[in-house]
Amino acid sequence: MNKRKISGIIILIAAIFMIGAVKVWAPVCQKSLELANGGETHMKCFYYGTTMMYIGVLLLAEAIVMFFVKNTRAVGIIAVVTGLLMIALTSGNIGIGVCPNPEMMCNSTALWGRIGAVVAMFGGIVAIIGEGTNIPQVK
């Protein structure tokens, strides 16, 4: 298996972690926050989950592209930057953040987002480092 396939599969796993967490095993709550004027709005975990879903779709596209390009370094750099963006998104100071209550389901979603981000960055690093080197083949 060559470096393109290995890094593409790793990035695909990261995309599955992010999309699967939001849609299947760790969805964010759908509760609303009541505003002072009587209106309602979504909690920030809703927006975090939506953004995590879009980043997962972006990683899915990067994984598909990885299978077809010859120069994997550019896609690897994009995967690393996407992973860093996902980690920054989890922070309440830089990104959207999640609910401060540790018992809320969005904290589990955020954990899966961080795991997916680390896996995506690993896949990107494999693509960057693997450029120009030979990965031993099993016979």
Is the model's pLDDT at 37 over the cut of 70?
Answer: yes
Question: For residue 35, is it within any domain?
Answer: no
Total tally of structural domains belonging to the chain = 1
Write out the two tokens for 9: 């599969």
Task: Show the DSSP H helices in the chain as ranges.
Answer: 3-20, 44-66, 72-90, 105-130
Question: For residue 135, is it within any domain?
Answer: no
How confident is the model over 17-33, as a mean pLDDT? 83
Question: For residue 33, is it within any domain?
Answer: no
Question: For residue 36, is it within any domain?
Answer: no
Residue range 43-94, pLDDT digits in tens: 878 888 888 899 999 999 999 998 888 888 888 899 999 999 999 888 777 7
Distance CA 68, CA 92 (A): 37
How much is the pLDDT for 135?
A: 53
Write out the two tokens for 5: 């396939």
Question: For residue 104, is it within any domain?
Answer: yes
Could you report how far apart the first and last alpha carbons of the chain are, in Å? 11
- Do residues 76 and 84 touch, judged by C-beta distance below 8 A? no
Q: Nearest-CA neighbor of 110 among 13, 94, 42, 102?
A: 102
Question: For residue 138, is it within any domain?
Answer: no
Question: For residue 103, is it within any domain?
Answer: yes
Q: pTM for this one?
A: 0.82
Print the domain residue range for 84.
3-28+45-130
Is the model's pLDDT at 33 over the cut of 80?
Answer: no
Residue range 92-116, pLDDT digits in tens: 777 777 777 777 777 888 888 899 9
